[in-house]
Amino acid sequence: MANQTAHSILKLFMPFYSLVFYRSYLALQSASVKIQRVMVSKPKLFLIISMLTIAVLLPSAILQYINHPFFVYRISLHIASIIISVFLIVVSILTYRRTGSIKILYTSIAFLSLLVVESIFLLQIIDSSSRIIIPMVYTELPHILLLVMLALFGLGVLKVEK
């Protein structure tokens, strides 16, 4: 009896259910096409990454120091480096997915290393991060990561693919 009731209710709502899922499917396909267009256009991709990065860093890194010109310049330099490194990571990952070249994978990991280094440098400037006391993170880790980045770039350039 309960099975028949559930079946009749399902039969009643099936056209509505199908319509909702069909429209959702069409919307997802449309969004997928739009995302692919943005991924192909490097200027649009750079603009979107720039806007998202600034939106994320605006409350924590930018607004606190808006009245201090020295900090604004330093923070702007690191934010520009973060934007460029995120853009290069995305572009190199898209290129790796298209080509499958291990050289490109090494390059993407090198750009990721650059992103981590710039994030550490940005955290050094922000006051709220002064509560985190890990001496190696602020002194040696950025240098180690820069060395790793250079090694990965070298490996990507010197690697011979068969």
User: Which of the pair, 155 or 95, is modelled with greater confidence?
Assistant: 95
Give the separation between CA 81 and CA 39, rounded to whole angstroms. 20
Q: At what angle do helices 102-125 and 141-158 cross, to 10 degrees?
A: 160
End-to-end CA distance of the chain: 67
User: Which of the pair, 157 or 15, is modelled with greater confidence?
Assistant: 157
Helix, strand or coil for residue 95?
A: helix
Phi, psi dihedrals of residue 126, rounded to the nearest 5°:
-70, 135
pLDDT for position 59: 80
Q: Closest Cα partner for 102 from 92, 90, 112, 87? A: 92
Query: What pTM did the predictor assign?
Result: 0.68
Mean pLDDT of 5-31: 57
User: Which of the pair, 20 or 153, is modelled with greater confidence?
Assistant: 153
pLDDT for position 57: 83
Q: For the segment 43-100, what is each residue's pLDDT rounded down to a tens digit? A: 888 999 999 988 888 887 777 777 777 777 888 888 999 999 999 999 999 999 889 8
Q: For the segment 101-153, what is each residue's pLDDT rounded down to a tens digit? A: 888 888 899 999 999 888 888 887 776 555 555 666 566 777 788 888 888 87
pLDDT for position 85: 93
pLDDT for position 4: 60
Inform me whether the pLDDT recorded for 155 exceeds 90: no
